[in-house]
């Protein structure tokens, strides 16, 4: 029997959606002329049309995924009402709000250009502007034209396809090759329950977990799916994975103790990040050598001598399974974050 609950939780992280959006048309201005029983020539009194509704993107910090938008393929705002007699203005079209998690990048699908990025709670950006309402004929009355019989039509709506991408916002991003032990570490330091198995590419979506620190303080750790050489060129699922690392303030490189060459693995990972986006090298970095429960004290001492000379950044030995060095790792990360 298939465990559907597990399958559902894995499918609940959606970080890419494409949709069609359209704002509302502006309402027509009225070209009405005022008429009453005892007023033969009352002049123009046509009201303005209402503006069309906007499509507005709004940031929500309690959302972690774009799952709620996965099946919303068309978003349409309301049209503006037409003006009428007595200088009555048409009603404005209804605005439509699209709530997104922080870290959402909105692109024009056709040009792939970035329109904007949502990074703050409650931040609102107009995605598609509603058409302006047309002016009624009373605006066009002049000394030489007392009864203008024309009014403006409303401005048309905006419509286009947009793509939304979520870049995970986390304090610490775990970077490493597939099967380096990232998911296991996350399951030990947080209450997240990532899928764990001893084969490459177990993690195909980022897993997020809240790390409980001393005195009820917390920080967010993200298990970024494993990088393979050539990810920056889009090999494997490279770009899909790498974009999540851009958002993390600290990069925790996880390299297993049984790696043939720890320094070489670190250099390859760093080079992938550099080729994808050189600004990523400005982030604070630390190396955790995982699976170190398989090293005896003598071997660890030998490795330290070698690594002290080779590695350009701080490193520490940890074992998620034996839970060795985990508290020390949390201390170091907390210090770096603060």
Task: Compute the average pLDDT of residues 243-265.
Answer: 83
Query: What pLDDT score was predicted for residue 230?
Result: 53
| Predicted structure pTM score | 0.63
Query: Binning pLDDT at 50, 70 and 90, where does residue 13 land?
Result: low
Please name the fold of domain 12-166.
Spo0b-associated Gtp-binding Protein; Chain: A, (2.70.210)
Residue 81 above 50 pLDDT?
Answer: yes
For the segment 16-29, what is each residue's pLDDT rounded down to a tens digit? 899 999 999 999 99
286 DSSP assignment: E
Q: Is the pLDDT of residue 128 over 80?
A: yes
- State the pLDDT confidence band at 138, using cuts at 50, 70 and 90: confident
Where helices occur in the chain by DSSP H, the ranges are 4-11, 182-189, 238-245, 262-276, 297-310, 326-337
Q: What is the dotted CATH code of the domain comprising 172-337?
A: 3.40.50.300
From CA 210, how far away is CA 220, in angstroms rounded? 5
Phi/psi of residue 243, nearest 5 degrees: -65, -25
Higher pLDDT, 190 or 269: 269
Residue 172: pLDDT band with limits 50, 70, 90: confident
SS3 content of the chain, % helix, strand, coil (to 5): 25, 25, 50
- Buried b vs exposed e over 51-82: b needs ≥16 C-beta within 10 Å? bbbbbbbebbeebbbbeebeeeeebbbbbbbb
Q: Matching CATH topology for 12-166 and 172-337?
A: no
Mean pLDDT computed over 132-151:
87
- Domain residue ranges in the chain: 12-166, 172-337
- What is the chain's mean pLDDT, rounded? 81
């Amino acid at each position: 029997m298939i465990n559907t609950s597990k399958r559902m939780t894995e499918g609940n992280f959606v970080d890419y959606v494409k949709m069609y959006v359209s704002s509302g048309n502006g309402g027509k201005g009225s070209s009405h002329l005022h008429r009453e029983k005892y007023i033969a020539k009352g002049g123009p009194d046509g009201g303005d049309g209402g503006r069309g509704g906007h499509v507005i993107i709004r940031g929500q910090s309690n959302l972690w995924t774009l799952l709620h938008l996965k099946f919303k393929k068309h978003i349409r705002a309301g049209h503006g009402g037409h003006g009428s007699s007595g200088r009555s203005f048409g009603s404005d079209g209804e605005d439509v709000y699209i709530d997104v998690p922080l870290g959402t990048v909105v692109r024009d699908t056709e040009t792939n250009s970035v329109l904007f990025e949502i990074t703050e709670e409650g931040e609102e950006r107009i995605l598609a502007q509603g058409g302006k309402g047309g002016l009624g004929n009373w605006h066009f009355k002049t000394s030489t034209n007392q009864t203008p019989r024309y009014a403006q039509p409303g401005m048309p709506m905006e419509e286009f396809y947009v793509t939304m991408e979520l870049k995970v916002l986390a304090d610490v991003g775990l970077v490493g090759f597939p099967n380096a032990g990232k998911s296991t570490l996350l399951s030990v330091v947080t209450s997240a329950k990532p899928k764990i198995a001893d084969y490459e590419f177990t993690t195909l979506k980022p897993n997020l977990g809240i790390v409980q620190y001393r005195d009820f303080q917390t920080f967010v750790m993200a298990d970024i799916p494993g990088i393979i050489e050539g990810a920056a060129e889009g090999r494997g699922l490279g770009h899909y994975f790498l974009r999540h690392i851009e958002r993390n303030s600290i990069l925790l490189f996880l390299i297993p103790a049984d790696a043939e060459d720890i320094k070489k693995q670190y250099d390859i990972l760093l080079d992938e990040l550099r080729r994808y986006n050189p600004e990523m090298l400005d982030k604070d970095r630390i190396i955790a050598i995982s699976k170190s429960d398989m090293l005896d004290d003598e071997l660890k001492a030998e490795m330290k001598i070698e690594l002290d000379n080779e590695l350009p950044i701080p490193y520490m030995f940890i074992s998620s399974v034996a839970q060795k060095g985990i508290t020390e790792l949390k201390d170091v990360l907390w210090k770096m974050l603060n």
